[in-house]
């Protein structure tokens, strides 16, 4: 940030205090937009969106001047989303400096957006028959080794055109003939490249975590190139691949692991979910180094790739009518023991953080799909700002679970804590004591969630993103009031 930009941003931040302002300056303060006023506007918009997240600009900016300034920023054509995303990526990775690695969970999603006239530059999403419109994206989320979201490492957007071909068979043949650079696979490759390029700038090593959609010859070979730079990967297998064998017989991975690989067993507490019964599952783990035969079906060529296969499957505890837990993981990490295999499995479970982020971004916290902006460029910018806000809420949620004894003033300002304590005292139980000292992050998040309607055990688990967001909405006006009183006393 140059001197003039820092001066303008500083003036802006004196008008908007709080943890949101500090966070927004950390996330967006380093963005060079070629104009100090635009840079200051971006930081202000980030802080306002963090205080009152919403897909609709009009619900975030209640002041007429700030609202018009936000629209001018988003629709003025002077800023592109890629510039913001690069800044977010570096801010996220800086939080991982000093760690052995940063888990990087990559997954795709889409936004369903209103475009009745077909004039906003959106593409096809969802069912062809329903004619849905919107945008597609691949997100790479940075996660600490102990499971706390760090921020977006990168985000790749595109508008999908309708696929050509008269029927499903024709489409599949056309897709096989195309190179990776011509398929949507290229966006996965781009996300991988941008992620490790930013990590390389800071000397950070990544451990990519990808689901079954990435069990793709091109993606696996691309990840193998990142391994040459010191990074790691784990991909969940989508099918039972062929592996190299002696003789003429075909040898499939699962059968070979079941017969030849060393193993271990542990118990896993499985929460209830859609089509899933809560239970303590017995998980059998097998692991071995294998060489995959990566075939190009169209060109009829084959390329070997040596990986470690870690197979975790449920045995003996599967309820009738339910599918067992069954993860076949392909990783670049060498595994020589049961403990190392468990570490690979733990790493894969951190991929779910990006799914939690998608939920918070799209519906739980930010409701980004409710945006009514008129152009693709504006939606990309606003969606990127809201994506950063969604990660912030997810980070707060997971800090309360993984570092519960950490003091809350590391993430919240004194005014926010003071307002939270005052509000909590208004609704506390008769026998509940609320001290004046700084609460832990777990206590603070629980109090915020209480404001948002969290009811404890009857809510079905620890505080989630929705109740935290509701609580922050209750907290924001109290903080503004204390801020106004403090400013009046010092003026």
pLDDT digits 0-9 by tens, 109-149:
999 998 888 888 899 887 665 778 999 999 999 999 999 99
More confident residue, 297 or 235: 235
pLDDT bracket for residue 4 (50, 70, 90): very low
Examine the pLDDT at 466 and tell me if it is beyond 50: yes
pLDDT bracket for residue 434 (50, 70, 90): confident
- The whole-number pLDDT of residue 483 equals 79
- The whole-number pLDDT of residue 276 equals 86
Percent of the chain with pLDDT over 70: 89
User: Following DSSP, what letter does each residue of 253-321 receive, concatenated?
Assistant: HHHHHHHHS-EEEEEEEE--BTTB--EEEEEEEEEEEEEEEEEETTTTEEEEEEEEEEEEEE-S-PPTT
Q: Give me 319's structure tokens.
A: 């309820």
For residue 150, give the DSSP letter: E
User: Following DSSP, what letter does each residue of 336-350 receive, concatenated?
Assistant: -SHHHHHHHHHHHHT
Work out the number of other CB atoms within 10 angstroms of the CB of residue 242.
16
Query: For the chain, what are the domain ranges?
Result: 3-81, 403-490
Q: Give me 466's structure tokens.
A: 């929705």
More confident residue, 30 or 235: 235
- The whole-number pLDDT of residue 12 equals 44
Class in CATH terms, 3-81:
mainly alpha
Examine the pLDDT at 331 and tell me if it is beyond 80: yes
CA distance 105 to 93: 13
Examine the pLDDT at 6 and tell me if it is beyond 50: no
Residues 48, 60 contacting (CB under 8 angstroms)? yes
Round the average pLDDT of the chain to a whole number and report it. Answer: 87
Annotation: CATH topology of 403-490: Transferase Inhibitor Protein From Tn5; Chain A, domain2 (1.10.740)
- The whole-number pLDDT of residue 213 equals 93
- The whole-number pLDDT of residue 334 equals 96
Examine the pLDDT at 167 and tell me if it is beyond 80: no
């Amino acid at each position: 940030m140059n001197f003039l930009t820092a001066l303008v941003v500083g003036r802006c931040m004196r008008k908007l205090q709080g943890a949101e302002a500090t966070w927004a300056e950390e996330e967006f303060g380093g963005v060079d937009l070629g104009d100090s006023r635009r840079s200051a506007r971006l930081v202000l918009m980030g802080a306002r969106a963090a205080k009152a997240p919403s897909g609709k600009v009009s619900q975030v900016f209640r002041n007429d001047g700030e609202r018009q300034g936000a629209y001018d920023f988003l629709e003025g054509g002077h800023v592109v989303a890629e510039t913001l995303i690069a800044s977010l990526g570096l801010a996220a990775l800086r939080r991982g400096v000093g760690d052995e690695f940063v888990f990087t969970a990559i997954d795709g999603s889409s936004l369903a957006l209103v475009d009745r006239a077909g004039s906003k530059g959106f593409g096809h999403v969802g069912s062809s028959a329903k004619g849905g419109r919107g945008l597609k994206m691949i997100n790479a989320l940075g996660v600490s080794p102990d499971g706390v979201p760090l921020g977006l490492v990168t985000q790749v957007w595109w508008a999908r055109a309708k696929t050509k071909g008269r029927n499903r068979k024709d489409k599949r043949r056309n897709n096989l003939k195309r190179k990776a650079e011509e398929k949507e696979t290229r966006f996965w490759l781009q996300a991988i490249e941008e992620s490790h390029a930013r990590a390389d700038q800071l000397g950070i090593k990544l451990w990519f975590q990808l689901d079954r959609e990435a069990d793709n010859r091109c993606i696996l070979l691309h990840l193998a190139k990142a391994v040459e730079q010191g990074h790691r990967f784990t991909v969940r297998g989508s099918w039972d691949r062929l592996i190299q064998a002696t003789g003429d017989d075909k040898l499939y991975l699962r059968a070979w692991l079941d017969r030849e690989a060393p193993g271990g067993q542990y118990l896993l507490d499985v929460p209830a979910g859609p089509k899933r019964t809560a239970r303590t599952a017995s998980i059998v783990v097998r692991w071995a180094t294998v060489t995959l035969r990566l075939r190009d079906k169209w060109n009829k060529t084959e390329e070997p790739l040596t990986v470690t296969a870690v197979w975790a499957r449920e045995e003996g505890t599967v309820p009738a009518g339910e599918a067992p837990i069954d993860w076949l993981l392909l990783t670049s990490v060498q595994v020589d023991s049961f403990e190392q295999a468990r570490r690979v499995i733990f790493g894969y479970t951190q991929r779910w953080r990006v799914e939690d982020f998608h939920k918070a971004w799209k519906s739980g916290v930010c409701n980004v799909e409710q945006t009514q902006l008129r152009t693709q460029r504006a939606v990309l910018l606003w969606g990127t700002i809201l994506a950063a806000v969604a990660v912030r809420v997810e980070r707060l949620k997971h800090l309360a679970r993984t570092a519960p004894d950490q003091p809350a003033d590391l993430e919240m300002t004194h005014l926010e804590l003071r307002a939270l304590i005052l509000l909590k005292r208004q609704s506390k139980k008769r026998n509940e004591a609320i001290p004046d000292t700084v609460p832990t992050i777990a206590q603070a998040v629980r109090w915020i969630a209480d404001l948002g309607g969290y009811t404890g055990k009857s809510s079905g688990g620890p505080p989630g993103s929705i109740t935290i967001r509701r609580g922050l909405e209750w907290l924001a006006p109290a903080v503004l009031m204390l801020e106004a009183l403090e400013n009046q006393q010092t003026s």
